[in-house]
Structure 1
Amino acid sequence: MSHSFSLISTLAIGFAIAWALGFLMERIKVPALVGYLLAGIIISPATPGFVGDVNIASELSEIGVMLLMFGVGLHFSMSDLIRVKNIAVPGAILQMGLATCLGAVLAHFWGWPWGQSIVFGMCLSCASTVVLLKGLESRGILESGDGQIAVGWLVVEDIMTVLILVLLPPLASLLGSPLQNTEASLPLWQIIGITLAQVFGFIILMLVVGKRLLPWLLRQVAKTGSRELFTLSVLVFAIGIAYGAAQIFHVSFALGAFFSGMVMRESRYSHRAAMESLPLRDAFAVIFFVGVGMMFDPKVLYEQPLHVLAVLAIIILGKGLVAFGLVLLFRYTLHTALTVEAALAQIGEFSFILAALGLQLKILPQEGMSLVLAGAIISIALNPFAFATIGPARDFIKKRWAFARRMDARIDPMSLMPDSVGSDILHGHVVLVGYGEKGKIILDELLQRHLSVVVVDDHHAVVEELREKKVNSIYGDATDPAILIQAHIHEAAILVLAIDNEILCRKIVETAKILRPTIETVMPAENEEDAKALKADGVAQAFVPDELLAQAIVQFTMSRFGKESEDQKIREEEAEEQKAIERGAL
């Protein structure tokens, strides 16, 4: 069979079996990705019948990782990354170190040399990008505070893994490799310095040059009016930059695509870019799980069942509990700790890459690769259930652990309205939920028009920053009635939602209308059809995101306060000021 037919047959049969098993899994209330993994096992070399091309599936899986990370970058700004740095950076480094120690001790207990044991431990320490993102997306918490902590944590893990992949060859002889070390001429400090310079050089290039160039290029393409050219541009930016970053700066495809998406967020066409790439992202994500299944040999389950169980215990319990403890240590809530624990209690693509490099350098036995694959397959299949147990686990822990009860009972001052805020400000005011890119613009416009505003955001650092600027703000989950009560929703005139998650918006509106049935609500919608549906359902007055979204929401809000003329005057003054700037008068 020719190579082209191998590609077609692998895709056609792989997709068909994945579709059938995914549908079956959903019907029996099991996550569809379990079906995708089973589809990969069915067409793998380890099972009878049709055998797909493992190499092709592996390359297509990499495209899935790129597109998924590009999509995350489109919804994740640099400010979001900086907000979670205090927990993501030390947390990821400590968690990877402790998980590596657990895996190394276990492998050494089996009789492996310490060098092989350390490499095996490192393979168990890094979570899968794709699995984590799918888990957060499926529950609508990708853009929440907990979700951004998990994503930031994973970005740091990616950077650490890139460093490990570069350092492993020169350190191979120290770890017991019989191969000659071709990089021994370079001292270790120089290798580390070069690697860090490449990683941070790429990041700086994207944030300085890419942040200006990519949005400009996308704007020029959008002006042509060609939809297929626009979609092609998105693919070029997502895949091309990820590939170029890997070739030139030696960073991972995932990290390259993530920063590509993050700088594209600055474009007013970022929402359209996300929509255009969504079908491809979903299709290639399926291929990723099928590809993982194809690499698995079920024989390891009955040949070494105790070893497999021990590996799973480290991945799900050991690694998860380490992350859980670290998050609590940083004084975050029990729910945040459980979310991060569930998100990281699995391994995936980076573990395979590390294991393959270990095999190549002869510092990991074939048995280690089989155990890593078994641990990945089973932990990925169980990960959706880990997310599903967050609520029950939280209740269970609170009942039996006094410290957890104190953590939940501890009132954060940021979640309370300061006594210094006068009652006149907290009557007939605007409650703005979300202080992201849209929220910042809307808040600035409303304050410029001298309206009273209370901001609700689930980022502690954001609320601290707002209070330093003397902006009335509350830290917490806006679906929690107690948080909305602190925002005095029962006396507010309008609720403005500056977040893109419709499911979350509906929950917030439902809670708000229980506390104040007559309150008016405003929010963004994916498209005109969704906007009409939201209005017909009595949920909110909705606006389709574009470059004028914030302006439309502000104009609507001002009209409800009967201040259209004041709003128009301010806009005319802004227009005159802009003209003066263009003339060089200012």
Structure 2
Amino acid sequence: MEFILYLVLIIFFTKVAGDLSVRIGQPAVLGKLIVGIILGPAVLGWIGNSSFIDELSEIGVLLLMFIAGLETDLDQLKKNWKSAFAVAVGGIILPFIGGYSAAIAFGFGQNYALFFGVIFCATSVSISVQVLKEMNKLNSREGTTILGAAVIDDVLVVILLAVMMSLVGTGNDISIPLLIGKKALFFIVTFLAGWYVVPKVMKWMAPLRVTEAVISAALFICFGFAYFAESLQMAGIIGAFAAGIAISQTNYKHTVEEKVEPIAYSIFVPVFFVSIGLNVSFEGLGQQWGFLIVITIIACVTKLLGGWLGARLTGFNSKSSLIIGSGMVSRGEVALIIASTGLQAGLLLPQYFTSIVIMVILTTLVTPPLLKMFFKDKVDQALAGK
């Protein structure tokens, strides 16, 4: 029954920490992330990593991105697709150069340095989504650009990873055209299913004489899209996000929103936030503190500047560009997956894995305050201009 105790601790402390975080002027998600570090192996050790936590957190992040899709203004997303593409590209080029250069400076070999650059390119906006949602900015021009850029970034980084693993000869027989074909297939099938199939499934399942038929239909679609995405080597969160957008175009949007949020935010999303902190461990760092500080600064600055540059080049002012850049800083679970892949393939030295994990956590922790600060600056500037 240990998992029951884990749930007790997670539910109670994430709510208390979230409230305290809001009271000191920070997004609630920041307090929830810190709770994971405190309750986990790094500090108190009350909660350990387990398959139970991993599976619940996976559901949590899928539901979080599903809700983001439900609440996304599709017209705004279409309007900002050029900016989203530019932000994604800028958020890959600069971090890759920064990560590669840092690795070379610390004496890494060429192949290790190239892979290091790939790790820096990853972006996971699940935390940014929660912050934007808390501030009611998810449908702002900046918010939709961040979401669009995250989808493009995921596609480009996976292709870049495949190219890298093929070039350095790790024994992975990866067909680049096949990989790109899978991405194209995902978007084609998702678009067609979202346009034609999803409305019919919702209309057919909603009248079924069973309890909560509408939300059951929505979750069936959400997890189905996520599984399809994973099967084509896309992140499951992209599939969940696409499912949310598809359902948002039906008459069941508001009903699904009202039903899914209590499910997500009572258990699954808090477990996801805590699970991020559980990855922190200071064992094995040894003399790597300087290395950790340098790569964390480079990871944050290059992603921020890359996103800022992409936004500026496509018509955003400096303040809005900073918001978009800060929303792309968090590496989250995407970078952890890439790092684990590299570790297994021999492209990441085992002694540096812990530093990479902590760097990923730190980029995730710094994102909520950055978003809050830059949005506040923009509001203050707007008020001062009146």
User: Which TM-score applies when normalising by structure 1?
Assistant: 0.60
**1:322–1:232 distance in 2 versus 1, CA, 3 Å:** same
1:381 aligned to which of 365, 368, 379: 365
| C-alpha separation in 2, matches of 1:157 and 1:32 | 26
**1:164–1:213 distance in 2 versus 1, CA, 3 Å:** same
SS at match of 2:281: coil
Residue 320, structure 1, aligned to residue 304, structure 2? yes
Question: What does residue 296 of structure 1 align with?
Answer: 280
Question: What does residue 250 of structure 1 align with?
Answer: 233
Shift of 1:280: 2.6
Q: Is the 8 A contact 2:27 2:131 kept in 1?
A: no
Question: What does residue 336 of structure 1 align with?
Answer: 320
1:21 aligned to which of 17, 29, 36: 17
Question: What does residue 8 of structure 1 align with?
Answer: 4
| C-alpha separation in 1, matches of 2:256 and 2:379 | 40
Q: Is the 8 A contact 1:9 1:52 kept in 2?
A: no
Q: May I ask how many residue pairs the two structures share in their alignment?
A: 385
Q: Is the 8 A contact 1:65 1:129 kept in 2?
A: no
User: Where in structure 2 are the equivalents of 1:76-225 lying within 5 Å?
Assistant: 76=72, 79-173=75-169, 177=170, 181-183=171-173, 191-224=175-208
1:277 aligned to which of 241, 260, 269: 260
Structure 1 residues 391-439: Cα deviation after superposition (integer angstroms, max 9, x where no partner): 676699x9xxxxxxxxxxxxxxxxxxxxxxxxxxxxxxxxxxxxxxxxx
Structure 1 residues 502-533: Cα deviation after superposition (integer angstroms, max 9, x where no partner): xxxxxxxxxxxxxxxxxxxxxxxxxxxxxxxx
Tell me which amino acid in the other structure corresponds to 2:236: F
| C-alpha separation in 2, matches of 1:366 and 1:31 | 34
Residue 54, structure 1, aligned to residue 38, structure 2? no
Structure 1 residues 20-46: Cα deviation after superposition (integer angstroms, max 9, x where no partner): 433443444443333322332234344
Moved more, 142-151 or 352-361: 142-151
User: Which TM-score applies when normalising by structure 2?
Assistant: 0.89
Structure 1: gaps of 5 or more residues:
399-476, 483-586
Question: What does residue 544 of structure 1 align with?
Answer: none
SS at match of 1:223: coil
Residue 40, structure 1, aligned to residue 36, structure 2? yes
Question: What does residue 268 of structure 1 align with?
Answer: 251
Tell me which amino acid in the other structure corresponds to 1:341: G
Q: Is the 8 A contact 1:334 1:394 kept in 2?
A: no
Tell me which amino acid in the other structure corresponds to 1:357: T
| C-alpha separation in 2, matches of 1:391 and 1:45 | 34
Structure 1 residues 461-515: Cα deviation after superposition (integer angstroms, max 9, x where no partner): xxxxxxxxxxxxxxxx9x9998xxxxxxxxxxxxxxxxxxxxxxxxxxxxxxxxx
Relative to its length, the structure with more strand (as a share) is: 1
Question: What does residue 504 of structure 1 align with?
Answer: none
Q: What's the % identity of the aligned pairs?
A: 24
Structure 1 residues 253-286: Cα deviation after superposition (integer angstroms, max 9, x where no partner): 0111122222222211112112211123324222
**1:138–1:196 distance in 2 versus 1, CA, 3 Å:** same
| C-alpha separation in 2, matches of 1:30 and 1:389 | 9
Residue 72, structure 1, aligned to residue 53, structure 2? no
| C-alpha separation in 1, matches of 2:53 and 2:168 | 29
| C-alpha separation in 1, matches of 2:248 and 2:379 | 38
User: Where in structure 2 are the equivalents of 1:234-245 lying within 5 Å?
Assistant: 234-245=218-229
Question: What does residue 472 of structure 1 align with?
Answer: none
| C-alpha separation in 2, matches of 1:379 and 1:331 | 27
Q: Is the 8 A contact 2:229 2:235 kept in 1?
A: yes
**1:270–1:227 distance in 2 versus 1, CA, 3 Å:** farther
Tell me which amino acid in the other structure corresponds to 2:152: V
| C-alpha separation in 1, matches of 2:288 and 2:299 | 17
SS at match of 1:112: coil
Q: Is the 8 A contact 1:54 1:294 kept in 2?
A: no
SS at match of 2:212: helix
Question: What does residue 347 of structure 1 align with?
Answer: 331
| C-alpha separation in 2, matches of 1:68 and 1:395 | 26
Structure 2: gaps of 5 or more residues:
none
**1:49–1:344 distance in 2 versus 1, CA, 3 Å:** closer
**1:142–1:48 distance in 2 versus 1, CA, 3 Å:** closer
Q: Is the 8 A contact 2:26 2:372 kept in 1?
A: no
Shift of 1:235: 1.5
User: Where in structure 2 are the equivalents of 1:399-418 lying within 5 Å?
Assistant: none
Shift of 1:299: 4.5
Q: Is the 8 A contact 1:100 1:124 kept in 2?
A: yes
Relative to its length, the structure with more helix (as a share) is: 2
Tell me which amino acid in the other structure corresponds to 1:150: I
Shift of 1:120: 1.8
Residue 369, structure 1, aligned to residue 365, structure 2? no
| C-alpha separation in 1, matches of 2:41 and 2:260 | 32
Q: Is the 8 A contact 1:130 1:285 kept in 2?
A: no
**1:304–1:145 distance in 2 versus 1, CA, 3 Å:** same
Shift of 1:192: 1.9
CA RMSD of aligned residues (A): 2.8
| C-alpha separation in 2, matches of 1:228 and 1:480 | 49
